[in-house]
Amino acid sequence: MADKFDIYYQGVAEKDINSMRFFTFGFNRSIAVRGIQKLILLWLKRLMTPRETDPTDLEAGTEFPNLIGSNISTMADVRDVVLLSINDCTDQIKNIQRVTMPDEDEMLASASLVKFQSLGDDGFEAWVDITNVRGTTLTVDLPSMATRST
């Protein structure tokens, strides 16, 4: 069976931000990825998709992107939304993978919040451990929700 690849998304460097996007295809040609990197990108795309915006699957996505501009006033409530979004995203990926049965290095075993801290009035920082079925774990720094720069 031929290898299946995904597109490698890159975070946008702060100095290069000129719009509201968090990810870009980069300035070079697209890079094919597989393994745990493909798993992480699949997970991040699902997390960063606002629910009901994918016309092919209105249940796809999470509430995570809705934190931007929301009126949630406490960090405890923000943390709850982040945790619920992580769990929702993880459940969606696992349901998809029950049908598609990817290789073990691309199959999600777990995703868990390992660090959450307030950045004052400017947002928060959240780190998530993504583990595949083979037991490989990588930590992902979720896109910053900061609204101002110093």
Query: Domain spans of the chain?
Result: 34-141
Residue 1 is predicted with a pLDDT of 39
Alpha-carbon torsion 45, 95, 80, 112, what sign?
negative
**Per-residue pLDDT averaged across 16-33, rounded?**
59
Answer whether CATH 3.10.450 is correct for domain 34-141.
yes
Give the residue with greater pLDDT, 136 vs 7.
136
110 with 137: CB under 8 angstroms?
Answer: no
Q: Pick the closest to residue 142 from 54, 71, 40, 55 (CA basis).
A: 40
**Which residue from 130, 126, 129 is spatially nearest to 144, judged by alpha carbons?**
126
> Could you tell me if 145 and 72 are in contact, meaning their C-beta atoms sit under 8 angstroms apart?
no
Average pLDDT of span 112-127: 88
**61-119, pLDDT tens digit by residue?**
999 988 877 888 788 999 999 999 999 999 999 999 999 999 999 999 999 999 999 88
Please provide the average confidence, as pLDDT, over all residues in the chain: 82
Q: Is the pLDDT of residue 15 over 90?
A: no
Query: Coil, helix or strand for 111?
Result: strand
Output the CA–CA distances (angstroms, integers) from residue 119 to 75, 81, 124, 146, in the order listed. 10, 16, 5, 7
CB atoms within 10 A of CB 42: 19
